[in-house]
């Protein structure tokens, strides 16, 4: 029989503590909520009340439930109030000495059989536990932010945590409606170990003016289906907390430079820009604690105005290529009302592309998203050709041929001869430097990257890749075209992986390394990222969909360009590719897809 935790103490009522109080009180557990001062206690009470009121306003909680919930919480200053709880959870700032002091105090105050838990994200639970005389009753219970919403709890067992304490806490998690993964004591556990390198990298991109905050966040939301962009997430976590987590992970986790906090984070913390909780971080909020972003001096002027800025008129579009991307892009432009000239390497390929576009448009008709007349009009706008000369009078060329630099360079040299002046020449490359392609022409200022995502008709994102030679008009034209296609164009520099792949693939690679180190299982890692961070797919699910060979190639490119030791491809990934386990397409990758 699992122990019944009927009374729980929560220490520290900040971002996490207040949420943890709510989780317990919602599930009928009495809570003693403790802070360091009367002022901090009132702030904690206000966070809890505001969250519960939001739940009532959204119809997720009845008035009576609200009152019962709040009635279960007793607010007190000082740890002495925790003398009779069955379980105490600490959620104070991420400093080892502070946590150790609190645990020594909890050990003195709490009943001998009480379990003592820490919500630390990155500190060693073992080091915290040795500040008590009962390390076997100390455990990590790592909730995710916002605690009432996120389903995951990481249960962290040290080498001395007793098995029944682990079992009791696991049972408690399911009573709270949470899904737990039990792991050993390692910096960042599962989710943060995979998340924080990515967050830090995103801040680094922002600091280097590689892209705007809006574009970095939009790229990850629209390109990967994440619930929030990395900079908005930093604001939610709190920059002070994020700094401490990164710093600890850097020191504990083998001094991986990717965890060394980007200097900007420390500067923002020093300046009091802590994120939502202080009303300002990467974004500005209505007031401290509010989730509502308000415009500030960094907010881009209305898209239309920016787009109109020097954009050239485009009506006729040339698209070169006959693969998956070219086919999708032809459909996107034709559907948006552009006149399209498709150039392939022969009538047979053109016929195949035509069939594919027609089939895809027909699906739209069947789903009621497109009328038959609109389908026919879209197909009627496409001219099929096998000679580049037909691109003499187009306004924009989008190249989507094979991912080989020599082929692309030769093509751009030809386009340079054929196309009229002022045409924007775009490449859809996902891994080659756009500048190499641009320099194959005599007009590098007109060359830009338009990185569509697969499937192009569905994915709302386009990365607009500027080289150091790209002109402002070319960028403005590319952005205007994205807007006219109903897509979000995010502008970024010409570096390996642009925004999305540069932030996504190292994370996937890290997940493979974590599996390789036997820290956790593929299932638990997938669970952790889906339920703890709201990702639509876990890393292993995604790797199997993308293809392990494709992922390895992208990771290699990133490594070769940036020479970041942490980006070196995981040996396990290399071995799986060598063994022909490429993911869904070959029937087996991290999982066996033939038996499902």
Ligand X SMILES: NC(=O)c1ccc[n+]([C@@H]2O[C@H](COP(=O)([O-])OP(=O)(O)OC[C@H]3O[C@@H](n4cnc5c(N)ncnc54)[C@H](O)[C@@H]3O)[C@@H](O)[C@H]2O)c1
Which of positions 93-132 make contact with ligand X (CB under 6 A)? 93-94, 102, 119-121
> Token pair 């170990």 is at which residue?
193
Alpha carbons within 13 A on the beta-carbon side of 395:
15
Q: How far is the CB of 235 from ligand X (least distance, A)?
A: 10
The region of 52-60, 86-94, 133-141, 257-265 touching ligand X under the rule CB under 6 A is 86-94
121 catalytic? Reply is yes
Binding mask 143-182 for ligand X (x = CB under 6 A): xxx-------------------------------------
192 catalytic? Reply is yes
Q: Note whether 199 binds ligand X by CB under 6 A.
A: no
- C-beta of 16 vs 203, nearer to ligand X: 16
Q: Would you state the structure tokens that stand for residue 135, as one six-digit string? A: 């390390």
For 118-140, b where at least 16 C-beta lie within 10 A, e where not — what string?
bbbbbbbbbbbbebbebbbbbbb
27 catalytic? Reply is no
Query: Rounded distance, CA 581 to CA 473, Å?
Result: 45
Rg over alpha carbons for the chain, rounded to the nearest Å, is: 27
Q: Which of 35, 154, 463, 541 is catalytic?
A: 154
Q: Note whether 241 binds ligand X by CB under 6 A.
A: yes
Q: How far is the CB of 78 from ligand X (least distance, A)?
A: 8
Phi, psi of 95 (to 5 degrees): -125, 130
The region of 138-146, 198-206, 220-228, 521-529 touching ligand X under the rule CB under 6 A is 138-146
Binding mask 274-293 for ligand X (x = CB under 6 A): ---x----------------
Q: How far is the CB of 112 from ligand X (least distance, A)?
A: 22
Contact call for residues 488 and 222 (beta carbons, < 8 A) = yes
90 catalytic? Reply is no
Q: Which of 35, 94, 142, 399 is catalytic?
A: 142
Query: Rounded distance, CA 210 to CA 215, Å?
Result: 10
- C-beta of 33 vs 218, nearer to ligand X: 33
User: Can you tell me which of 8, 26, 32, 35 binds ligand X, judged by CB under 6 A?
Assistant: 35
Query: Rounded distance, CA 13 to CA 40, Å?
Result: 8
Listed residue (238, 278, 259, 193) closest to 92, CA to CA: 238
Listed residue (21, 2, 19, 1) closest to 10, CA to CA: 21
Q: How far is the CB of 517 from ligand X (least distance, A)?
A: 23
- C-beta of 13 vs 262, nearer to ligand X: 13
Phi, psi of 367 (to 5 degrees): -80, 0
Q: Note whether 262 binds ligand X by CB under 6 A.
A: no
Query: Rounded distance, CA 484 to CA 370, Å?
Result: 18
The number of beta carbons lying within 10 Å of the beta carbon of residue 196 is: 26
Q: Would you call 403 helix, strand, or coil by DSSP?
A: coil
- C-beta of 118 vs 161, nearer to ligand X: 118
User: Can you tell me which of 23, 92, 195, 216 binds ligand X, judged by CB under 6 A?
Assistant: 92
- DSSP code, position 493: E
Q: How far is the CB of 551 from ligand X (least distance, A)?
A: 28
What distance separates the 2 farthest-apart alpha carbons in the chain? 85
Q: Which of 121, 342, 496, 501 is catalytic?
A: 121
Q: Which residues are catalytic?
A: 121, 142, 154, 192
Residues that bind ligand X (CB under 6 A): 11-17, 34-36, 40, 44, 91-94, 102, 119-121, 142-145, 237-238, 241, 245, 277
């Amino acid at each position: 029989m699992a122990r019944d935790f009927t009374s729980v103490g929560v220490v520290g009522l900040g971002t996490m503590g207040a949420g943890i109080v709510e989780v317990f009180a919602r599930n009928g557990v009495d809570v003693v909520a403790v802070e360091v001062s009367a002022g901090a206690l009132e702030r904690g009470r206000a966070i809890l009340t505001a969250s519960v009121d939001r739940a009532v306003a959204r119809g997720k909680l009845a008035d009576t439930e609200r009152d019962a919930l709040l009635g279960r919480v007793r607010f007190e200053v000082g740890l002495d109030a925790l003398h009779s709880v069955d379980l105490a959870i600490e959620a104070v700032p991420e400093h080892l000495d502070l946590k150790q002091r609190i645990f020594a105090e909890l050990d003195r105050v709490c009943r001998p059989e009480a379990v003592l838990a820490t919500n630390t994200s990155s500190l060693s639970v073992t080091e915290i536990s040795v500040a008590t005389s009962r390390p076997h009753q100390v455990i990590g219970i790592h909730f995710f932010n916002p605690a009432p919403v996120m389903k995951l709890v990481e249960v962290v067992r040290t080498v001395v945590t007793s098995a029944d304490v682990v079992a009791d806490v696991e049972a408690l998690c399911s009573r709270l409606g949470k899904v737990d993964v039990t792991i050993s004591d390692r910096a960042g556990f599962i989710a943060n170990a995979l998340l924080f390198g990515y967050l830090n990298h995103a801040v680094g991109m922002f600091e280097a003016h590689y892209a705007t905050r809006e574009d970095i966040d939009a790229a990850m939301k629209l390109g990967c289906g994440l619930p929030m962009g990395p900079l908005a997430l930093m604001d939610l976590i709190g920059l002070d907390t994020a700094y401490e987590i990164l710093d600890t992970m850097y020191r504990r986790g083998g001094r991986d430079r990717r965890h060394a906090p980007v200097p900007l984070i420390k500067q923002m913390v020093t300046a009091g820009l802590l994120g939502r909780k202080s009303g300002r971080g990467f974004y500005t909020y209505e007031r401290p604690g509010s989730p509502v972003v308000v415009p500030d001096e960094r907010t881009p002027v209305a898209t239309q105005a920016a787009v109109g800025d020097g954009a050239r008129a485009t009506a006729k579009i040339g698209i070169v290529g006959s693969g998956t991307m070219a086919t999708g892009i032809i459909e996107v432009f034709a559907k948006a009302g552009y006149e399209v000239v498709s150039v392939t390497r022969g009538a047979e390929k053109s016929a195949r592309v035509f069939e594919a576009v027609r089939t895809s448009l027909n699906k739209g008709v069947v789903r009621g998203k497109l009328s038959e007349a609109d389908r026919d009009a879209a197909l009627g706008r496409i001219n099929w050709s096998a000679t580049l000369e037909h691109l003499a009078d187009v306004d924009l060329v989008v190249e989507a041929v094979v991912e080989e630099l020599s082929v692309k360079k030769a093509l751009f040299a030809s386009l340079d001869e054929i196309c009229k002046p002022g045409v924007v020449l775009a490449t859809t490359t996902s891994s080659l430097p756009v500048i190499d392609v641009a320099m194959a022409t005599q007009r590098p200022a007109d060359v830009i990257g338009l990185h569509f995502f697969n499937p192009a008709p569905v994915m709302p994102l386009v990365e607009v890749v500027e080289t150091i030679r790209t002109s402002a008009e070319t960028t403005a034209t590319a952005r205007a075209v994205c807007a006219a296609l109903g897509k979000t164009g995010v502008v970024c520099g010409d570096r390996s992986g642009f925004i999305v792949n540069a932030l996504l693939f190292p994370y996937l690679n890290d997940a493979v390394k974590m599996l390789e180190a036997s820290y956790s299982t593929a299932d638990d890692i997938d669970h952790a990222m889906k339920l703890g961070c709201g990702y639509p797919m876990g890393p292993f699910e995604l790797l199997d969909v993308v293809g392990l060979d494709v992922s390895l190639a992208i990771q290699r490119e990133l490594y070769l360009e940036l020479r970041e030791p942490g980006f070196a491809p995981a040996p396990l990934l290399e071995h799986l590719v060598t063994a022909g386990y490429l993911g869904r397409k070959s029937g087996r990758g991290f999982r066996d897809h033939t038996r499902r």
